[in-house]
Amino acid sequence: MFHKSAIQFGIIGLGRFGFALASTLAKAGKEILVLDSNESKIRQIRNLTENAFVVKELSKETLEEAGIQNCGTVIVCIGEKIDASILTTLNVICMGVPRVIAKAISPEHGLVLEKIGAEVIYPEYDMAVRLANRLISLREMDYIALNNNITISELRLTNKIAGQTIQQANLRKRFNLNVIALEHSGNTTTVITPELTLYENDIIVVVGKKDDIKKFETFLTSGIFS
């Protein structure tokens, strides 16, 4: 019934965070093993993976039977029940899983998880900080007005075009903008080839009409809360 061979990711707990994580990994083609006590949630996730099992308790024996020790990375997504979160995380670590990540709901909770050897994440806090930084940085970072209508503007890219090449993004046709420079990981280039790949948080320098730059900025920020 349970999974015994090597698998990429193990996910324990299908709350909103765990379910979203499992769904995203599965849709990206990653092999996952999912455990939860809620049969309804397990049935839902089975639309994406066969390796999803109902476990009524998270004892070391049950985890071993499920095959969680065969995962390269295990994410413990139990947050609200702090005692269960800590004990489950400890059990997974003691089973020799190479990488264990655990969700925490408070600094104290996170401190205990760190002490027993887990990587700790604070989903709500991390998302709030990320959103705030995006809201701050998505406005035009700098601009030079060439005349009353034409502007050179510096913008930070979002995931709306991340992974696309200059040719695929096609800003010239879609927004009437020309890319004249790009900064990636602190390195700036003015050699803008069609094959150049764009990444989230890259800084792009474009020249064009103010209205067209505004349209591009609106495109980048649309869906920011989704």
Q: Does residue 116 sit in the same domain as residue 141?
A: no
User: Based on the domain organization, do 101 and 18 belong to the same domain?
Assistant: yes
pLDDT at 225: 41
Q: Tens of pLDDT along 136-154? A: 555 545 566 676 678 888 8
Q: What is the extent of the structural domain holding 207? A: 136-220
- Residue 130 belongs to some domain of the structure: no
- Residue 148 has a pLDDT of 67
168 and 208 both lie in a single domain: yes
Residues with Cβ within 8 Å of 221's Cβ and at least 6 positions away in sequence, in order, are 138, 158
- The list of the chain residues with pLDDT below 50 reads 1, 140, 224-226
Is pTM, for the whole model, over 0.75?
no
Q: Tell whether 103 and 152 lie within a shared domain.
A: no
Do 35 and 77 sit in the same domain of this protein?
A: yes
* Count of domains for the chain: 2
Left, alpha or beta for 169 (phi > 0: left; psi -120 to 50: alpha)?
alpha
| Spatial separation of the C-alpha atoms in residues 224 and 226, rounded to whole Å | 6
Please report, for the domain that includes residue 202, its CATH number: 3.30.70.1450
Residue 65 lies in a domain: yes
- What is the pLDDT, as a whole number, of residue 13? 95
Within this chain, do residues 12 and 62 fall inside the same structural domain, yes or no? yes
